[in-house]
Amino acid sequence: MSTTLDNAYGGPAFQRVVPAEGVEREYFGMTLRDYFAAKAMQGAAASTMNYSSPQAAAADAYKMADAMLAERSK
Over the stretch 3-48, which tens digit does the pLDDT of each residue have?
555 556 777 676 666 666 766 666 667 788 899 999 999 988 888 7
Return phi, psi of residue 22, to 5°: 80, 0
Range of the domain at 26: 4-72
Return phi, psi of residue 20, to 5°: -140, 150
* Total structural domains within the chain: 1
Burial of 31 (0-12, 13-18, 19+ CB in 10 A): buried
**Total-model pTM:** 0.65
Q: Confidence class of residue 50 from pLDDT cuts 50, 70 and 90?
A: confident
